[in-house]
Amino acid sequence: MKKVGKVAAVMMTSMLVLSACNTTNLKLEKTANRTAQTNVSSNHDNMANMGNMKHGKYVNENTILPTQKNINEKATPVKIERIGEHEVNVTMTSTVTDVQVAPDVLYKAWTYNGQAPGPVVIVNKGDTIHFTLENHDPTVMHSMDFHAVHTSPTKNFADVKTNDKGTFTYKASDVGVFMYHCGTAPVMMHIANGMVGTIIVKDHAHPYPNKVDKEYVVINNEWFDSGNSEDMKQGNPSHYTMSVRELANGKFGDTPFVAKVGDKVRLYFENVGMSQPVSFHVVGTVFDDVYLDGNPYNHLKGMQSVMIPASGGAVVEFTVVDEGTYSVLSHQFDQAMKGSLAKLIVTKDGKLPAQPAAAKH
């Protein structure tokens, strides 16, 4: 909890979100405010993983497997080791972790590295990836489906047995921002239970043309109250989380979601939810440049919103011209009210205003 102060920039208040669309319904304001508190630590090392906070009731209590009930593995970073100019080892775990998806709402999740969404993986175009999955789950087989590679699914997205590990090799040939997820049947259940994440493939030889001042990764995810397959089939999530993390010089930073007046901001956005598209929008600006799925050839300009399908992504760039709080959200407001929103704080110097000192007793 010691980093909560650092991530206050993403604390969301319903008043700002709703006033953007001239909405004043008090009930909706209270709902958004409560939901927003879940995403306060979305700039944390572990993205949207709230498992270590451990407060609330399990909304999927009736579907938790008995062998998983007492498991709550802590979040760990992904292991990425470059072993050659175009060759990299990536090692991840599959495990069971408590995730907080809303205030007082816990979910006993299936996760990668104890995080939901899982850790962001960044590689270069042309890299050969040697991926190892260590399955710590004592009951369920898991696997890895990287949307960023060309390979045989039956060979290289194969299941890894419980308490076992498997290594798979493939090449990342396309630039972009992509989803990854567990491909073990039933795939719907594994995705909805938390086994999702983002892989970014960069092309250092041909980067995006615009110079930017700030870069962040933003990930939208869905959760289902009951945790059972029938509700998932209906495709009506009970909660959303929107996670934010800084990229600084190609590496992850640990600063708040903040920018300076005049900054050009680049967001790598991925919709890892299994069922619903997202109308991605930033209140108070227009996207100068949009690259669908992060591919430079899929270039659009002057977009107010970008429709992102389930498993889709985009790289968006925009300029912030005034101080203020900019809502980053799904403009399908039923999703925003359930948690699909974050806050970009823009100040004159790019630093957060000083927080008032705690009262002494």
The answer to whether position 355 is within a domain reads no
The per-residue DSSP string of 183-248 comes to -SSSHHHHHHTT-EEEEEEE-TTS--SS--SEEEEEEEEEE-SS--HHHHHHT--SEEEEEEEEEE
Q: Which two tokens stand for residue 29?
A: 């304001």
Neighbour tally for 268: CB within 10 Å: 24
For residue 32, give the amino acid letter: A
Mean pLDDT confidence for 175-197: 97
Residue 282: phi and psi, rounded to 5, are: -120, 120
For residue 325, give the amino acid letter: T
Q: Domain residues for 265?
A: 4-347
Token pair 């990229």 is at which residue?
A: 247
The answer to whether position 175 is within a domain reads yes
Per residue in 16-74, pLDDT (tens digit) is 343 444 433 334 334 444 444 334 333 333 344 433 445 688 989 889 999 999 999 99
The answer to whether position 185 is within a domain reads yes
Beta bridge partners of 111: 95
Residue 186: phi and psi, rounded to 5, are: -75, 125
Q: Are 49 and 114 in contact (CB under 8 A)?
A: yes
Q: Are 123 and 172 in contact (CB under 8 A)?
A: yes
Neighbour tally for 67: CB within 10 Å: 13
pLDDT at 315 over 50: yes
The answer to whether position 361 is within a domain reads no
For residue 206, give the amino acid letter: H
Q: How confident is the model at residue 165 (pLDDT cuts 50, 70, 90)?
A: very high
Three-class SS state of 269: strand
CA 10 and chain centroid, separation: 14
Q: Into how many domains does the chain fold?
A: 1
CATH, residue 122: 2.60.40.420
d(Cα 31, Cα 336) in Å, to the nearest integer?
10
The answer to whether position 64 is within a domain reads yes
The answer to whether position 76 is within a domain reads yes
The answer to whether position 353 is within a domain reads no
Residue-level pLDDT at 354: 75
pLDDT at 277 over 70: yes
DSSP 44: S
Q: Are 112 and 94 in contact (CB under 8 A)?
A: yes
Element (H, E) at 96: strand 87-102
Beta bridge partners of 181: 145, 196
The answer to whether position 51 is within a domain reads yes
Per residue in 73-114, pLDDT (tens digit) is 999 999 999 999 999 999 999 999 999 888 888 999 999 999
